Structure 1
Amino acid sequence: MKSSFVLDLGKEKRLALLLDSYYSNCLKHYDFGRVQNLREQLLGVDVIFKHKISQKTFLVDEKAQLDYINEDLPTFAFELHYLKNGILKDGWLFDASKKTDFYALVTGIYEDEPNKYTSCKIAFVNRKKLLELLKTKGVTKTCLLEYYQKEPLPHGKMKLKELDPRTEGYLYHSKNNKAEQPFNLILKLDYLFSNRVAKKFT
């Protein structure tokens, strides 16, 4: 299996053009700047929003469903763990080194013209509030690692007792179809909206 990292970079550059157009047209009270520094990007910062009056800044990490072009899924995958050269690494959700204030979840990405993304949906998720919500449900980094360490760990969907899989979320292990074998927490977008952790932007 070939890593999708290089391919995803090309898709992300195309998507950034669309996202920047949305930010330019829809952000009334904020200026924004796209981060070019790779080190900052690795720390979970793709875009910086700055309030025009208070000058307060917010660090935004863009997460996009680039594997599901021309689809509109009701869920989003939050990365818990992945493998790199056979070594287990922490995913971005519980990575304490990340500086992210908000995730920009990009869904419903449509490509109505060749090699050009023409529309999408954006939801902003307050990272701190998300982690607090999960903690109240008993969904912690330690708890989720215990699920990962169960043997044998199958490919595909896994229920976790802390969340209702129909309305809240579940686990998913991409063991057979991705080189990094990511282990993700799949959350329902409506669950995030109803708990005021996420807000629709477009």
Structure 2
Amino acid sequence: MESKYNTDKLKEEILGKYLDKIYDQFEYKLTRISDHNSQMLGIDLIAEYRSIEYNIDEKAQLDYLNYDLPTFTFEVSYYKDGIHKEGWLHDSKKLTHYYFLITSIHLHGKDIEDGFSGCKITSVNKKKLIKFLDLKGLSKNRLNELDIAIRNSNQKDNILLQELDPKKEGCLFLTEDKAEKPLNLKLYISNLVRIGVAKEIYP
């Protein structure tokens, strides 16, 4: 049986080729980065716009193919080999300038090998996102406090926050049934676009 890791890698490779054809239509140059060390630093693509380079981290909803979810999850923390780790949202080692959120990914046929027929791409300015969260009272330190409190309680799935409107802005989400037990900040994409933190760039 093919491992989940190999299946995920196959999905990523096929999606990457599909996205590269889309990026060729953009008015600025996008170069895919295959170097593993760069990818670990949050650089999947380098965008060159008006002679300035920007690091792009692609984040795709590959676990939700053929669905159009209104939210996207931003990783606060997770476990690896039993050790609590900081998530990519506030990881100071990451060199990301923008996130490309790849959502509403639809298959062309029944199988992943058939390729994809459509998706949505939303660009999120990381600096603006962090500023928005800080202004909402969800600084890195505050999220760390919430992380400890939640993991020492029986809360899971959707965890409401006094700082965010759960119907329009978002909430925290703890996934207990994954080995990494990730704690994510689940945010409404439409709200991020509305407040100028994000921009829909495709279609």
Q: TM-score range by the shorter chain?
A: over 0.9
Q: Does 1:75 align with 2:71?
A: yes
Gaps of 5+ in 1: none
CA contact (8 A) 1:18 1:119 kept: no
Deviation of residue 7 (structure 1)? 3.0
Does the Cα contact within 8 Å between 1:49 and 1:57 map onto a contact in 2? Answer: yes
2:191 is matched with which residue?
191
TM-score (norm: length of structure 1): 0.93
| Amino acid paired to 1:184 | N
The residue that corresponds to 1:9 in the other structure is 9
Please name the residue that 1:161 is paired with: 162
SS at match of 1:201: strand
Deviation at 1:5, TM superposition (A): 4.2
Work out the CA distance in 2 between the residues paired with 1:184 and 1:194.
Answer: 21
Q: Contact 1:64/1:105 (CA < 8 Å) preserved in 2?
A: yes
Q: Is the 8 A contact 1:155 1:172 kept in 2?
A: yes
Q: Once structures 1 and 2 are overlaid, which stretch shifts more, 133-142 or 109-118?
A: 109-118
- Alignment of 1:145 onto 2:141: no
Aligned to 2:60: 64
Q: What does residue 106 of structure 1 align with?
A: 102
Q: Which amino acid aligns with 1:108?
A: S
2:140 & 2:12 partners in 1: Cα distance? 28
Structure-2 change in CA distance of 1:44 and 1:153 (3 Å): farther
1:171 aligns with 2:183: no
What is the CA distance between 1:4 and its match in structure 2? 4.7
1:45-56 aligned within 5 A: 45-51=43-49, 54-56=50-52
How many residue pairs get aligned? The number is 195
Structure 1 counterpart SS, 2:192: helix
- With over 3 angstroms needed to count, the CA separation of the structure-2 counterparts of 1:58 and 1:97, relative to structure 1, is same
Cα distance in 2 between the residues matched to 1:60 and 1:41: 10
Could you tell me whether the CA contact under 8 Å between 1:43 and 1:100 is conserved in 2? yes
Distance 2:4 2:95 in 1: 24
Query: C-alpha distance in 2, partners of 1:91/1:5?
Result: 19
- 1:22 aligns with 22
| Alpha-carbon RMSD | 1.3
